[in-house]
Amino acid sequence: MGSTRVAVFDLDGTLTRRDTFVPYLQGWLARHPRRRRIVRLVAAIGRFYALGRDRGRLKSDLIRACMSGATRSDVRDWTETFVAGLDGRMLNPGALAAIARHRAAGDRLVLLSASVDLYVPAIGLRFGFAETICTGVAWRGGLLDGALTTPNRRAAEKLRCIEALRLRFPRAEIAAYGNTAADLAHLAAVEHPMLVNARPKARRQAEKMGIATDDWRNKCPPPPVQSA
């Protein structure tokens, strides 16, 4: 791979202006309304607060409450509609500009997200990412189960993913972009980190760590450092 850079983008709040997981589930429910699912949703949220605020468990419980038993074709149809509907109101223009610059430089684009593989790979495909790393969800007999097949790709797990990329591309510098304090661990582990669209507290933490910050919501970021 030579000296080509690997450019790793977070999804929610970085490429998009906000979370995608809840809107994805909301859109599914609008297409497949069932009153009894409200009870399951309330129970899932209750378990989250009662059992240690495990975000991975909550993610699985919400998928099961909303989508358990869905067919692959139904999920694929909704995913295509959802991803096609990501427009300028949902996307950060600075992210699109950064993606274009990395692509023009010949860098390998990687989408790294804690959101799930029901739709994140389709987003990666739409925006030209070479690969997608995200949270996996189980199927049983062709129907959606909702159990997670991977760790929730958040915080320390994103750092592990960066370390795995480093092993795969040992001669490449890595640029990474995230938007929350939970992203700082993996941003600190790369050569060209940037925290974007962050809240003031996270921005201050990043600046103390020597990590560049920017706002991609209304303007384009500066061009990335050229590969050696």
Low-confidence ranges of the chain (pLDDT < 50): 1-2, 221-222, 224-228
Burial of 216 (0-12, 13-18, 19+ CB in 10 A): buried
pLDDT tens for each residue of 136-180: 999 999 999 999 999 999 999 999 999 999 999 999 999 999 999
**Where do the structural domains in the chain lie, given as residue ranges?**
6-214
pLDDT of residue 8: 98
C-alpha–C-alpha distance, residues 72 and 60, integer Å: 17
pLDDT of residue 34: 73
pLDDT of residue 2: 47
pLDDT of residue 42: 64
pLDDT above 90: percentage of residues in the chain:
80
What count of other Cβ atoms lies within 10 Å of the Cβ of residue 92? 25
Are the C-beta atoms of 176 and 162 separated by less than 8 Å? yes
pLDDT of residue 1: 42
pLDDT of residue 219: 64
Fold classification of 6-214 is: Rossmann fold (3.40.50)
pLDDT of residue 33: 82
pLDDT of residue 45: 75
Beta-bridge partners for 214: 196
Residue 196 carries which side chain, given as an amino acid letter? V
Residue 66 carries which side chain, given as an amino acid letter? C
Beta-bridge partners for 194: 177, 212
pLDDT of residue 173: 97
